Every structure is written in C-alpha cells, then in structure tokens.
Structure 1
Amino acid sequence: MLSIVPPMTHKKPDNASEENLFLKAVSDVNRLTKSNQVELRPAPAAPKLRPVEADETDSAPDMLSDSGEIEKVMADTVLSYCQTGIQNRLFRRLRQGKLEITEELDLHGLNLKQAKQVLLDFIQLAYPVEGCCVRIIHGKNNRSRSGEIAVMKQYVNHWLIQHPRVLAFHSAQLRDGGTGSLYAILKR
C-alpha cells in the first residue's frame, strides 16, 4: 500500500523572530574601543596657488653664471660630474647608459644665449621618473677647425655643474651620441 505524505511546508518566521535570532547571534560581540576604530580624516584643502608673474610664464629664470673660469673642453673630452651623496652603483649605471632615457634635448643650431635659455626651460620642466635620466645633445663642434674648443659643450658642462637640480651627468655611450651628448640625472 502506498501512503502519500504531504510535502513539508516551511513557515516563514515573522520579523520579531528574525530579529531575535540576529540579536542572539551577535549577543557576545563587544563594541570596538576608540583606539581600534579607523578615523576618517577630512580631505586636505586645495593648495593655494600664487599669482603667476608675467615674466615667469615666458621662461625659467636665469640662475646660471657665465662668468668665472670656464673649463676648456675639446670635442672628444668625456664630461663627468657627480654630486656627493649619489650612489656609486647609480652613477655607474648612468655612465654605462643603462638608465632609461625619458626626455631629450637637442641644442644643435642654437647660439649660446638661446641654448642657455632652452636648457634652463628643459631642466625646469623635465620630470624624469626615479631611476631614469635625460639626454642632452650639445654636439662636438665638428664643423670648426680641428683642435678647436667645443664651445657649446664647454658651456653646457659649466651650466649643468651650477644647476641645483642636476645631480649627476656623464658623456653618453657611442650609440646615444658619444661625447656629443650626455646623460643627466635630475632631482625630482
């Protein structure tokens, strides 16, 4: 004989019993003390920008001196400079051309006054990523008589040593222009 069992019906608990179940489940939970809570800080205020002077929008200020004794530099002279505090390993990688070049400046065809201003603007605006460098192409003065001083190269050397944002520089590897260009690490 076959008996038929009616299906079980689940009776929905009323809201009061659900609330009781929840309260029973969390009854042994303790509130966090103030020291364990995360404090939400207000968003920082937007920085106040100072008005831009008319002469600032044109170009970077000329902070480099052309006076004093400027080291004579020949076309094949290797340029090298490193501030104290730069790690030897980083400077070695710069010399070997193993740092990524993020920005480049070519000074060919400019006179000294133009080159100085373009170089200042470039250094002010360049933003290399940490561990990267910039390349500055100054040329070797090959069109002049042999044995003559590479004027642009000697002034670039003189200006870069003076600039507070230049941490180190070295003549480039042959594949990147050799002694006609250089790699530089700039302060961020």
Structure 2
Amino acid sequence: MPRKPPLADEDIHLFRREIGQVKPIKQDKIQPLPPTSKKKTLEVRSNRAKQNRGSDRDARQAAASFQFSDGFEAWFDPNLPVKYVKPGVDNHEVKRLRRGDYPPDLILDLHGLKREEAKLEIAALLHTARRQHCSCVCIVHGLGGHVLKRHVPNWLIQHPDVLAFHQATLEWGGNGALLVLLQT
C-alpha cells in the first residue's frame, strides 16, 4: 500500500490559521468495558453493585422515588417459568428474553437483602436503567425461602417502564433470576 506524501508546511499553516483556537472536548461518557467472558463481566458488575450499595446508596434510593405496593399480587402458574408481557407489547419480546437474545446491561444481586431493602434497590435499579437508557436488566433474587422470588415479579408488574420479564437463562441465574425488558 503506497504511503501518503507528508503535508507541505504552507498547508499546515493554512489549516491552523483557518481553524484558530481550539479547546479540547471533555469526554462525558463512560467508556464501556472491553468484551470479556460473561462470567468475568458478571463478577465485575456484581462487585460494582456491592460497592454501590455502600456510600451512594441513600442518594440512589432518594432519586428512585417509585413506590411499589405490597398489596398487589399477580398470579403466575407455578408449573411454568415466571413471565409477564405488558398489555400492548408484542408477545414475541418475552420469547426473545427467554432465548437470551437480550443480554442484560445492568445486574442487581439481591442476595442477603430483606424485602424492604430489595424493594428500594429495585426502584433504584429501574431509575438508573432509565437514566442510562438500558433496555434489559437482570435481577438476581435467589431461591432461599422464595420470599423475594414471590415478591419481585409483583413489584415489576407495577412499574410503568417494565415491558416484559421472563425467568433468566441459566447463564444469567436461571430459576433464581429475572431478565427484565425496559422501555428506553
């Protein structure tokens, strides 16, 4: 491949004269993580979520002002995976969630949290996902005593940004997690 000839001094001088004073643009975007294995990505995101629970937890929870009702309880067939599609949304979207076509942009691990703490964390996650224009999130509720497994879907149905959710594929938590499709 032939090399380009260097620019003449007069061309460089003309360019600098026409452009004038230039200030560098400050980068205001967070650079995405380089592609890695899903397991490593999951660990990094999980560690970030644990770090975020500490210092800025109160600020995130104050920003997430959505309140979930504990009085609402939807019916899910116990013999089938947990799934939901908001009325007016194409049923094909929940099939795509089931197949794992949507990798989660954010992952929230609720292990070790009480019901009220988990409710606040989910509200904060949905608020953050909306702010960051995330289309899919994963909520790992675990199995344990099935307390969070029973409540998390009921809370998600109430949120206006939730379009659909489905039990996660094995790579994202299986029976102990939900993949949630959000309105962007």
Q: Give the TM-score normalised by structure 2.
A: 0.59
Q: Which has the higher contact order (CA 8 A, sep 6+)?
A: 1
Shift in alpha-carbon separation, 1:139–1:77, aligned structure 2, 3 A: farther
Does 1:66 pair with 2:66? no
Shift in alpha-carbon separation, 1:182–1:88, aligned structure 2, 3 A: same
Q: Quote how far apart the aligned CAs of 1:69 are.
A: 4.2
Q: Is the 8 A contact 1:60 1:124 kept in 2?
A: yes
Shift in alpha-carbon separation, 1:57–1:91, aligned structure 2, 3 A: closer
Cα separation, 1, equivalents of 2:75 and 2:108: 22
Instruction: Identify unmatched segments of 5+ residues in structure 2.
Output: 1-58
Cα separation, 2, equivalents of 1:118 and 1:73: 26
Q: Is the 8 A contact 2:93 2:164 kept in 1?
A: no
Aligned counterpart for 1:93 among listed residues 81, 96, 120 = 96
Q: Quote how far apart the aligned CAs of 1:63 are.
A: 2.1
Which residue is 2:18 aligned to?
none
Name the amino acid aligned to 1:87: D
3-state DSSP of counterpart to 2:104: strand
3-state DSSP of counterpart to 1:135: strand
Which deviations, in whole Å up to 9, do the C-alpha atoms of 1:102-129 show, x marking residues without a partner?
1111111100010000100110111465
Aligned counterpart for 1:135 among listed residues 108, 125, 138 = 138
Q: After superposition, where does 1:8-157 map in structure 2 within 5 Å?
A: 58-69=62-73, 71=75, 78-127=81-130, 132-141=135-144, 144=145, 150-157=146-153
Q: Quote how far apart the aligned CAs of 1:57 are.
A: 7.4
**Residues matched between the structures, number:** 125
Aligned counterpart for 1:174 among listed residues 166, 170, 173 = 170
Cα separation, 2, equivalents of 1:70 and 1:85: 18
Q: Is the 8 A contact 2:61 2:120 kept in 1?
A: no
Which residue is 1:27 aligned to?
none
Q: Is the 8 A contact 2:76 2:82 kept in 1?
A: no
Cα separation, 1, equivalents of 2:103 and 2:121: 22
3-state DSSP of counterpart to 2:160: coil
Question: Comparing both structures, which one devotes a greater share of its residues to helix?
Answer: 2
Which residue is 2:30 aligned to?
none
Cα separation, 2, equivalents of 1:73 and 1:155: 15
Shift in alpha-carbon separation, 1:129–1:108, aligned structure 2, 3 A: same
Q: Quote how far apart the aligned CAs of 1:72 are.
A: 8.0
Shift in alpha-carbon separation, 1:56–1:84, aligned structure 2, 3 A: same
Shift in alpha-carbon separation, 1:102–1:72, aligned structure 2, 3 A: closer
Shift in alpha-carbon separation, 1:83–1:71, aligned structure 2, 3 A: closer
Greater gyration radius: 1
